[in-house]
Amino acid sequence: MRPFWSLPPSFADLAPEAKDKRILIVANPTSGGYRPKNLEKILGYLKEAGCQVSIRLTTRAGEIGDIASDTNLAVNLLVIAGGDGSVNEALTGFQNNAAAPDLAVIPSGTANVLAHELGLPKRPAAIARAILNHRTQPLHFGLANGRPFVLMASAGFDAEVVHGIPLALKRKFGKLAYVYTALKIGMTRRSSDLTIDVDGEHLTGKLAVATNGRFYGGPFVVCPNASVTTQGLHVLVLKKDDPVSALRFGIALMVGRVHKAKGVTVTAFKKARFLAANPVAAQIDGDPFGATPVILEAAQDNLTIVVP
């Protein structure tokens, strides 16, 4: 046993087998809360452990997808430093890569729901340790009109906010920008009716969220029984979206009770469709995704993701 005054083990001692590890870190410098200094520290720890590690900063949307779909990547681990949209791009790219490496995430982003789902650490040393330990779990995902989503796909008011939020405002004010945009849109919008076809049963509502995991919008629990590491999707249907109901649901969301709120149903499903007479805005993983109709199902495959 080490005497109590000795230094903690170095990263080189932690993972002797790391010397064979080839790691590519792809960082989205435009994601909310991006911290280049933290990335440098993580890079330093991984190099100290002997990993062959390189880093690439994206210069445009779509680049992460292109990298992830490259069948000549020749790495054991692709690490995405970014938010949920960046991870979604990697997942989408992996669909065209039969030799996809394992995935790890250095969380940034405005909400970063996946970080809450997996309990990802924030400190550089803890992130490096998780990457070196390389403990993995299957990451299940859903398909919306054939496009993968890791966390959620929805149609209705929240998607209108995702479509309407100005990027500069999101970068400057983070989550507050969502609140501001929601209030602004909420005052003038005309709500639409949705039909939600859940495994052949017809539900009606104003907002429908297909969720792959427990959380929504950050640390807020919407489906306590779900997890991104087990297969299966649930759909939350909100019956109303008038300002008073929206406020009630918002408060219920913040206290982790929205799934129990009056006017909310949660249903597990295999196949669902979000339909509307006139197109209703849709979003996946916090990025705009056109409009209804949206057809949803669980993907049969899964990825391998590093967990703490």
Ligand X SMILES: Nc1ncnc2c1ncn2[C@@H]1O[C@H](COP(=O)(O)OP(=O)(O)OP(=O)(O)O)[C@@H](O)[C@H]1O
Query: Scanning residues 13 to 52, which ones bind ligand X (CB under 6 A)?
Result: 28-32
Nearer to ligand X, 16 or 62 (CB): 62
Nearer to ligand X, 85 or 101 (CB): 85
Among 255, 306, 250, which residue's Cα sits nearest to residue 127? Answer: 306
Token duo for residue 32: 């909310």
Dihedral in degrees, nearest 10, Cα atoms 212, 216, 218, 224: -70
Q: Residue 262 in 3-state DSSP?
A: coil
Token duo for residue 40: 């440098």
Among 100, 71, 102, 116, which residue's Cα sits nearest to residue 217? Answer: 116
Per rule CB under 6 A, is residue 112 in the interface with ligand X? yes
Q: Residues for the chain: how many in total?
A: 308
Residue from 6, 59, 72, 278 that binds ligand X (CB under 6 A)?
59
Nearer to ligand X, 64 or 306 (CB): 64
> Of the ranges 44-52, 61-69, 202-210, 247-255, which one interacts with ligand X (CB under 6 A)?
61-69
Residue nearest to ligand X as judged by C-beta position: 83
Find the shortest distance in angstroms from Cβ 80 to ligand X. Answer: 8
Beta bridge partners of 208: 155, 237
Per rule CB under 6 A, is residue 286 in the interface with ligand X? yes
Residue that is written with structure tokens 């790691």 in the block: 23
Nearer to ligand X, 215 or 269 (CB): 215
Per rule CB under 6 A, is residue 93 in the interface with ligand X? no
Find the shortest distance in angstroms from Cβ 240 to ligand X. Answer: 26
Phi (first) and psi of residue 165, to 5 degrees: -70, 125
Beta strands in 156-241 (DSSP E): 194-198, 201-205, 207-211, 215-216, 220-221, 233-238
Per rule CB under 6 A, is residue 92 in the interface with ligand X? no
Q: Please state, as a whole number, how many other Cβ atoms lie within 10 Å of the Cβ of residue 32.
A: 19
Interface size with ligand X, residues (CB under 6 A): 23
Find the shortest distance in angstroms from Cβ 96 to ligand X. Answer: 16
Residue from 43, 51, 86, 299 that binds ligand X (CB under 6 A)?
86
> Of the ranges 13-21, 85-93, 224-232, 244-252, which one interacts with ligand X (CB under 6 A)?
85-93
Nearer to ligand X, 11 or 289 (CB): 289
Contact 268, 251 (CB under 8 A): no
Contact 147, 176 (CB under 8 A): no
Residues of this chain that bind ligand X (CB under 6 A):
28-32, 58-61, 63-64, 82-86, 89, 109-112, 286-287
